Every structure is written in C-alpha cells, then in structure tokens.
Amino acid sequence: MTLRKTEVAIIGAGISGLSLAYFLKQRRIPLLLLEKADEVGGLIQTKTTAGFLSEAGPSSLLSRPEIILKLSEDIGLGEQIAYANPLARNRFVYRDRALRAITPSPPGILKSNLLSWRGKLRALAEPLVKKSHAGEESIADFVRRRFGGELLDYLVEPMVTGIYAGDPEQLSLQAVLPQLAQLEAECGSVLVGAIQRRQRQPRVSTIFSFASGLHCLPAAIRRCLAKEELWLQTTVEQILPKQHGFELRIRHRRGQSTLLAEQVVIATSAPAAATITRNCHTQLATLLASLPMVSLTSVTLGFANKPAAQALNGFGFLVPKREGLRLLGAIWNSTLFPQRAPDDGATLTCMLGGSRDPQINSLDDETLLHILRQDLETTMALTEKPDFVAIHRWQQAIPQYVLGHAEKIKQLQTLAQKVGALHFTGNYIDGISVPHCVARSESLAKTLALARRDVCTRSSFSVPAQPV
C-alpha cells in the first residue's frame, strides 16, 4: 500500500469539487481531487447523436451569482457562451387543456389568462395582508397566506416543482426563497418590497449555455488541472482523523493507497457524504443521511422535422399537480439555443418524477415513453414519433430544503468545526443551482486560504501527490 501526501483532498469531481479545485489552484494551494467515476462533471453530462444534443442534467445556467460568467471567461469558454433566444422570456403553464402564457410579475399576472379574475385580484391584494411574525414557514403556507390558493396551485407549485422537483407544502420558504421572507419582514409586503428593490438595484439575470452543451464547463476546468491533481476511478473507503489532518484509505484501478491530507473537503451528494463519513464520525453521517433527496427522470426527444404541434416559441411549459398528468414540464431546447438539433429539427427535454411521482422513475423505457407521449399529446398536441430519444434517470439526486433544513445545515457546520479541517460543500447546503455551487466553492477556497496562513508549519508537510 503506497503513501501519498497533499494539503487539501477534495472528494467528488462534480461542479462543486471541480470549481473548488480550480479556485485553490489559482491560490497555489496543493490539492488532490478524487472522483469515483471515470469522468468529471457529476450531473452535468452532454451527448450529441446524429445532430441531436441532449443534456442529462441541467440544460442552462443563470448569470447570477456573477462568478459563473467570470469563471467561464477565465477558463477559456468566453467565445462558446450562448445566450438564450429572447423567446425564452415566454413561459407557459398548462391549465384546462391549454398552454397559457405567463410572466411572473404583477403586469404579467394581470395580462395572462392563467388565473381567474378572482385569483388575480387576490394575488394583487398581497400588500393588504398583515405580515406574520411566526417562525419558519413552508412555501405553500406563505404563498397561500399572502397571495391566495389559486396562485399557489397554478403558478408557484409548478415553478417549485420545475426547479426543485419538490413539494411546496414541505419545502421551507426561508431555505428556498429567503428573499421573499426578507421582503415581508422588511417592507411588510412582497410586491411593494420587490418594486422598491428593483428601483434601487435593477438586476438583470440572463440565461446562457455553451455552443456544444454544458459539459464544456467541467471539461474546461479539468483541463486547468495537472494530471497529478486529479485521480479518476478512485473510491474513498475510509477517513481517519489524525493529529494533523486526516488519513484517507482509497481504492483505485491499480490497487489501494493511503493519502494524508491536512484539509479534507467532501464535495459529493449528501447520501454519498454520509457513506464516506460513517466510520469517521457517526453523528455527522447520521445527519447527512437525514437530508431528504428525490429522484428525477429526464427524457430528451429529437425530431428531424419540427413537429406540427403548438409552436415551440418559448422556454417551455410546466404542468400543475391539479391537472392530474405525470409530466412535470418540458423545456424547448432547440428554441433556446442553436446547435441543439439538425436544421429544421427540434429537441425538447421532459421532466418526470420528483416528489410528486416517485414511482415513475422505476418504470421501463417503453412504459415511460408511452406515458410521456400521451401527456405531450394532451398538453401540446404533439403526436409525431421522435427520431431520437435519450432517457436519464437520476436516483436521489435533488436535495429537498424541507422545513428544518437550515437548522440541520448549521448542525452540520458545527460538527465539522469540532472535527476540524473537515469541510462540506455541494448542492444540499444553501443553493442547488450550478452558479450557487460555484459561488460556494469560491467562498470555501478563500476560507481554506485564510486557514493556511494561520498555520506557518504547513509547507513542511505538503508535497504534491503523485498520480496512481
């Protein structure tokens, strides 16, 4: 069994671990990134087949937090950035056998035929509702109290499902949408507070991707790392606290090794982090295992000729739970970005499962596609048979920020501080989007750099790990 040493060991080469490695390398901090798969990127996977591009995970990014665009430029992807078609501003929600256009703003709500006039008036009366001084509240309870049940059922519930694949009755407002809780607390009204904030600080967030898909991002970060800084097909079997850091027992394609690291960052999913820490700290592992996750299935359909269904003239559409369909929503990829389908063709990605329908993730491909095609015919009159199909099933992939989530994360941080030199990052902390994960990694890199300065003897311990 060989012995290696490094200053910072990062476990997991998804976007959180990769971006952290990049930011540490920029600060000249010795590191070693460990990944059990044979490729980097985690959920960010892109494949192109016969001119059809499919994204297994996220298909686009928001330009906020701003670090995501800066990172893209810094790693050489500036010329590949593709901003979304202006038609992306068009969003739709399915209700009563029709796709109804909606812009989630007071003028947009008034103009849309998604809500009844009673629902619109109730929502716009939000400034008249007294603010609550209660503690943590679910998204559903908050929206129902301030805006009414109709806006919850036909706008907020499908939006929350589209982003988190979760149940607004269970998700915490303070953890998922803290800005809304802050507006109520500071201004007494979400609508009034939002208008005042926009007047003071106009913020424009744009949607973008890359010409050849999102996997360009992790692939470009990987190219910034030296060969000896990234070990693929490497499993961390055990973490043992030592006097000055940790001993990691790892298994890789050439056998087993022991790695000594002064700092360890676990950048995996919460369930994987629970498995890694079970022999190191039982209480940490139990807490990580208690964080709920949901599974999701995405299906990308490609058509060599644009379907004669309703025009794909927007970002896509969402399906409220009340409509009784199994389809959660669809993104019209080839409308958003170029090079997603052959000329005159089209692609769309459909989402199924989540907390609303966990059973669908276990269906075979034939049954799944039968259900999906039925729902697409119902929602957008799509009857053509696709020329391309890509199915991706993600088990326990999306964290759920349920009531009590923030308190559990505080407990996690407190326990990690007691262990010392052990850190956690990932989409289960305080933001599930790729930009939030990158911003969190940049912040953690600064923290590790500051800790490094406080220990002047560190350089005598650190030697670059050698490739296995």
pLDDT tier, 203 (very low <50, low <70, confident <90, very high otherwise): low
Model confidence over 280-316: pLDDT tens digits?
899 999 999 999 999 999 999 999 999 877 668 899 9
Q: What is the CATH number of domain 115-200?
A: 1.10.3110.10
**Beta-carbon contacts of residue 131 (< 8 Å; ≥ 6 apart):** 184, 185, 188, 189
Take residue 176 and report the two structure tokens written for it.
Answer: 């998922």
**pLDDT score of 467:** 38
Q: What is the pLDDT of residue 229?
A: 97
**Cα–Cα distance, 272 to 430 (Å, whole number):** 18
DSSP lists the bridge partners of residue 298 as 351, 392
Is it true that 115-200 and 293-399 share their CATH fold?
no
Tell me which CATH code domain 2-43+214-291+402-461 carries: 3.50.50.60
DSSP 114: S
- The arithmetic mean of pLDDT across residues 65-77, rounded, is 95
Please give the model's pTM, rounded to 2 decimal places. 0.94
**Residue 275: enclosing H or E segment and its boundaries?**
helix 270-277
Q: Per CATH, the architecture of 293-399 is what?
A: Alpha-Beta Complex (3.90)
Tens of pLDDT along 136-147? 999 999 999 999
Q: Which DSSP symbol is given to 138? A: B
Query: Encoding tokens for residue 423?
Result: 């850190």
Model pLDDT for residues 249-290, shown as the tens digit of each residue: 999 887 899 999 999 999 999 999 999 999 889 999 999 999
Give Rg (Cα) of the chain: 23
* Maximal CA-CA distance, the chain: 72
Check pLDDT > 80 for residue 465: no
**Locus of tokens 């909606």:** 102
Query: Percentage of residues in the chain with pLDDT exceeding 90?
Result: 84
Task: Give the pLDDT confidence score for residue 246 in this predicted structure.
Answer: 94
31-61 pLDDT tens trace: 999 999 999 999 999 999 999 999 999 999 9
Angle of CA points 110, 132, 119, to nearest 5°: 20
Evaluated on CA atoms 427, 70, 43, 390, the torsion sign reads positive
**DSSP symbols for 100-142:** EEE-SSHHHHHH-SSS-HHHHHHHHTGGGSPPP--S--BHHHH
pLDDT digits (tens, 9 = 90+) for 336-364: 999 999 999 999 999 999 999 999 999 99
Tokens 């609303």 correspond to what residue? 356
pLDDT digits (tens, 9 = 90+) for 165-192: 999 999 999 999 999 999 999 999 999 9
Instruction: Provide DSSP, 19-62.
Output: HHHHHHHHTT--EEEE-SSSSS-TT--EEEETTEEEESS---EE
Per DSSP bridges, beta strands 293-303 and 346-353 are antiparallel
Residue closest to 300 by CA, chosen among 272, 268, 276, 332: 332
- The arithmetic mean of pLDDT across residues 12-21, rounded, is 98
Q: Flag whether pLDDT at 466 surpasses 50.
A: no
Higher pLDDT, 24 or 133: 24
State how far the Cα of 156 lies from the Cα of 162, in Å rounded to an integer.
10
φ, ψ dihedrals at 106, nearest 5°: -55, -50
Spans of all domains in the chain:
2-43+214-291+402-461, 115-200, 293-399
Q: How far apart are CA 236 and CA 24, in angstroms?
A: 21
pLDDT at 1: 57
pLDDT at 455: 57
What is the spatial distance between Cα 361 and Cα 328, in angstroms, rounded to a whole number?
A: 13
Please name the residue that has the structure tokens 């003897």.
Answer: 457
Q: Which residues contact 394 (CB under 8 A, 6 or more apart)?
A: 43, 56, 57, 295, 296, 297, 298
DSSP 116: -
Q: What percent of the chain has pLDDT over 70?
A: 95
What are 402-421's pLDDT values in tens digits?
999 999 999 999 999 888 89
Which pLDDT belongs to residue 198?
80
Q: Hey, what are 38's tokens? A: 């044979």
Residue 425 clears pLDDT 60, i.e. is over it: yes
